[in-house]
Copies of this chain bind each other. A is one copy, B any other.
Amino acid sequence: MAKTPPRGPLSGFPELLPEQRFVEQQVIDTLRRVFELHGFAGIETRAVEPLDQLLRKGDTSKEVYLLRRLHEESAEGHAGLGLHFDLTVPFARYVLENAGKLAFPFRRYQVQKAWRGERPQEGRFREFTQADIDIVGRDSLAFHHDIEVTRVMVDALTRLDFLPAFRLQVNNRKLIQGFYAGLGLGADDTDEVMRLVDKLDKLSVDKVRELLLADAGISAADADRVLELATIRSDDDGFVEQVRALGVEHELLDEGLAELAELVRGCADLVSDRVRVTADLSIARGLDYYTGTVFETRLDGYESMGSICSGGRYDALASDGRTTYPGVGISLGVSRVVVPLLARTGLTASRSVPSVVLVAVVDEEGRPTSSAVADGLRRRDIACEVAPDAAKFGKQIRYAERRGIPFVWFTTTTEDGTVTHEVKDIRSGEQVSADPAAWTPPTDDLRPQVLLKEQQ
């Protein structure tokens, strides 16, 4: 027998009230607009992937949800299908499947839900919306695209003006791997060392040093060098000198240093009160298969949320055996940013409905007159609704008030057949004559605005 299903909200599956959803929708619309301005085409991929694709890294930590049809005999999942846990695995498959019909380098954005069965906590959900941009080449992809995707995402985040200031932390896997190779660490050690260094955002330097000796089994001298590298931070290309001062040499290290310096210089003009770009040599992005640039992004004051926007370069985003498709991309956790901000800051919309006008109804016989006024306003792109019943005007005004609709429109016909139109701003109480073919609300009222609660 199935367990008793939960009632009410499900932990990890956030749902928003209309005025909160408006904020999320504004975020998504802004992202879309910026991505399109930079020439990225929108696509969507199906929610399901073959299970072996989802697990191909042998990494089951993503807590995949398997699907099974209700009437299916076997409990083994519907032909081995699961819900995607990110948008990168499906995108790689989409590129391979449609390679003959796509023009490379292919630039795409994708805003969709993903699912992970992990334990819910702040900023971590079982169902969440991600916004990804990637540029993927056939056989090769120039490094300047690494700078480009970084700049696009900074452009997008900057336009979300209710976001706190943020810091983009960049690093380069070639730099790390070249440095480790220069120390003489083997390929296996490199992975384990990188995995441990990646814990520096949660554990102390001493604790990580202990683990490097105990778990990775490297020498104390190597561990010191590894940690000296990982604790380098710089807001310009000064990190190059600091790394050089550690005295390690390797061709791959040179390449990584050059790329990272180019990235930091290529973003220097974006730095502002709200945006910092830091070379942070501890960033490694754990076990993910990045091969060059890696990025993370943290919101000031929300560091506990972790990185809201991460990505990097893959030498082989996809490969069909004959052709390899390198890619570089960033993924923004829309739910991860929006849901905690809504909860913590009281971010909301100035009203719970799109309507800027409520058209009042004098009596039910007059409803077609009110509807005609509303249709006329809509033809001029003014969102409105007609009152649900011909209640006293005071009650109709309260209907508008409860929803935050700023204007109520009154159309009355006198006994001699004269029709008069008046519109009331219910915030000021001011009521004026208005022509339904010409009246326009103030631009700021036309669409709901995103507000912090104290601004209301």
> Interface of A with B (CB < 8 Å)?
1-10, 13-18, 21-22, 25, 36-48, 50-53, 55, 60, 63-71, 74-83, 94, 97-98, 101-103, 105, 107-108, 113, 115, 117, 127, 137, 142, 144-145, 148, 352-355, 364, 367, 378, 381-386, 388-389, 399, 402-403
Contact = CB atoms under 8 A, between A and B. Distances in A.
A76 B354 contact: no
A8 B15 CA distance: 33
Given A38-B385, A69-B63, A18 B2 contact: no
B47 A21 contact: no
A367 to B, nearest CB: 6
A6 B41 contact: no
A37 B68 contact: no
Nearest to A266: B368
Given A47-B113, A127-B46, A388-B145, A354 B79 contact: no
Given A3-B79, A5-B79, A80-B4, A44 B15 contact: yes
Given A37-B354, A47-B47, 20 more contacts: A1-B76, A2-B51, A2-B80, A7-B50, A8-B97, A15-B45, A15-B97, A18-B42, A21-B43, A36-B383, A38-B384, A39-B354, A40-B353, A41-B353, A48-B127, A63-B69, A65-B70, A75-B75, A78-B117, A137-B388
A250 B53 CA distance: 61
Given A13-B48, A64-B70, A385 B39 contact: yes
Given A10-B46, A60-B70, A69-B66, A80 B3 contact: yes
Of listed A43, A102, A145, residue having the most chain B CB within 10 A: A43
A301 to B, nearest CB: 27
**Pairs of residues from A and B, 10 with the lowest C-beta to C-beta distance, nearest first:** A5-B50, A39-B385, A75-B75, A36-B354, A39-B355, A18-B41, A5-B80, A2-B80, A13-B46, A69-B117
Given A71-B63, A117-B69, A98 B17 contact: yes
Given A16-B44, A47-B127, A67 B69 contact: no
B70 A43 contact: no
A355 B115 CA distance: 32
A44 to B, nearest CB: 6
A18 B75 contact: no
B15 A46 contact: yes
B37 A21 contact: no
Nearest to A447: B36
13 contacts: A21-B41, A22-B41, A37-B378, A37-B384, A38-B378, A38-B383, A47-B115, A63-B70, A65-B69, A68-B77, A75-B75, A137-B388, A142-B389
Given A21-B44, A115-B47, A383-B37, A70 B76 contact: no
Contacts of A399: 103
